[in-house]
Amino acid sequence: MNIGIPKERRSYEFRVGLSPTGVQILSSQKHVCYVEHDAGLGAGFTDQEYERAGARIVYSPHEVFGGADLLIKVARPMIEEINWLRSNTCIAGLLHLSSAREDKIDKLLSNQITTVAFEHLQLDDGSYPVRRPLAQIGGLMAAQVAARLLQSDAGGNGILMGGVVGVPPAEVVIIGAGVVGTCAAQAFLGMGAHVTVLDVDLDALQRIHDRIPGIVTMISNPVNIAKASENADVLLGAIFVTGERIPIVVTRDIVKRMKPRSIILDLSIDEGGCVETSHPTTHDHPTFIEEGVIHYCVPNIPGVVARTSTNAYVNAAFPYIMEIANNGIDLAISQNSGIERAIQTHRGKMVHLICLSKGKRME
């Protein structure tokens, strides 16, 4: 199979879809890997490393997109990239198509492109093996981002996350006790913050309570969210709902009642967001102020720790990439229920894709 690894074109997206090690394994299986010039540079992988692994370096995006039977990306393709693809080809990556513009979905359908959204690849036990390591990175990074935004020179209230003797620490509220929320809670607590976690699932709260002694847990409902948010210096949205739109759990009215210059990090923004006042931002312009509150809503947070997140992504996704390459997409779908659940579009039809009805769409 001809496999394409393009250079990511989105601003501040430094990751790459496949490492030289992945290329070496695929090449040993007689697959041909076309790597776009400097595709791995942001993650610290040179063209020479890819060539030594057996890749063919190409210098035009048209070559890598147009020649690929399977295109391996990280971020959702832009409209021009979709236009470069041949009909009836397959693209795999962290696609987040539920929040994409309608014209992209229409183009994927009209060109009969098969899309494999690895963030939705779910095993029979309910786990998300590809999403998990990147969610861990996002959760861990949330604490360092929030610590920076709390500083006076960043517009925050000038609060040290852990406080000092005689001065209390920051109040951090996390909505969602999944992988992102758990890793964020660990990181915030490690910095000395006072951490409260809310979730609708009592079992999830029990797990995080047992795993991280010292946090406060609350059932997530409108009353508790409003109460906790009013006291928060940092409010983190970390909700992921399988096969459904992300619900808005933090309304504008709640945001209005938060402390001036407090921080909202909506880490659910790649699926539409869980805060009514949030909208997607980028690493070069990561924040905006709404209702007096600083909002940070960058979808690709792990993109700026590209070496770590590329290796984590490839480690998790590679078994499925190999299965698609060796068997073809149709056989892979029929034989692997995890891959089947990750299919968003196939042969001109929407499969498991649920699009947002309005707002917060991303390029």
Q: What is the mean pLDDT of residues 3-20?
A: 94
Q: What is the mean pLDDT of residues 193-197?
A: 98
For residue 67, is pLDDT > 80? yes
Q: Distance between CA 229 and CA 175 in Å, rounded?
A: 10
- The pLDDT, as a whole number, for residue 10 is 86
pLDDT in tens, 137-147: 999 999 999 99
The ranges of the chain annotated as CATH 3.40.50.720 are 2-127+309-350, 131-303
For residue 76, is pLDDT > 70? yes
For residue 198, is pLDDT > 50? yes
Q: Distance between CA 23 and CA 41 in Å, rounded?
A: 15
pLDDT in tens, 326-360: 999 999 999 999 999 999 999 999 988 766 544 45
**What values do phi and psi take at 339, rounded to 5?**
-65, -40
Is residue 94 very low, low, confident or very high in pLDDT (cuts 50, 70, 90)? very high
- The pLDDT, as a whole number, for residue 197 is 98
Which CATH superfamily hosts domain 131-303?
A: NAD(P)-binding Rossmann-like Domain (3.40.50.720)
Give the number of other Cβ atoms within 10 Å of residue 112's Cβ: 15
For residue 361, is pLDDT > 60? no
- The pLDDT, as a whole number, for residue 115 is 97
Q: Distance between CA 274 and CA 237 in Å, rounded?
A: 6
Q: What is the mean pLDDT of residues 10-34?
A: 95
Q: What is the mean pLDDT of residues 36-46?
A: 97
- The pLDDT, as a whole number, for residue 356 is 54
**What values do phi and psi take at 203, rounded to 5?**
-65, -40
Q: What is the mean pLDDT of residues 174-179?
A: 96
Percent of the chain with pLDDT over 90: 88
Give the number of other Cβ atoms within 10 Å of residue 131's Cβ: 24
Sorted by sequence, the CB contacts under 8 Å of residue 237 that are 6+ apart come out as: 175, 176, 249, 250, 264, 265, 266, 267, 268, 269, 273, 274, 275, 278
For residue 294, is pLDDT > 50? yes
Global pTM value: 0.87
Where does residue 273 fall: left (phi above 0), alpha (psi -120 to 50 degrees), or beta otherwise? left
- The pLDDT, as a whole number, for residue 101 is 83
Tell me which residue of 71, 75, 102 sits closest to 84, measured CA to CA.
71
Active site residues: 96, 270
Sign of the CA dihedral with 102 first, then 104, 109, and 110 last:
positive
Is residue 96 very low, low, confident or very high in pLDDT (cuts 50, 70, 90)? confident
Cβ atoms 30, 3 nearer than 8 A: no
Cβ atoms 100, 362 nearer than 8 A: yes
Q: Distance between CA 195 and CA 336 in Å, rounded?
A: 39
pLDDT in tens, 102-153: 889 999 999 999 999 999 999 999 999 999 999 999 999 999 999 999 999 9
pLDDT in tens, 204-227: 999 999 999 999 999 999 999 999
Cβ atoms 47, 59 nearer than 8 A: no
pLDDT in tens, 45-66: 999 999 999 999 999 999 999 9
pLDDT in tens, 225-253: 999 999 999 999 999 876 567 899 999 99
The CATH number given to 2-127+309-350 is 3.40.50.720
User: Between 270 and 72, where is the model more confident?
Assistant: 72
Residue in this structure with the two tokens 């649920």, named with its chain if needed: 354
Is residue 270 very low, low, confident or very high in pLDDT (cuts 50, 70, 90)? confident
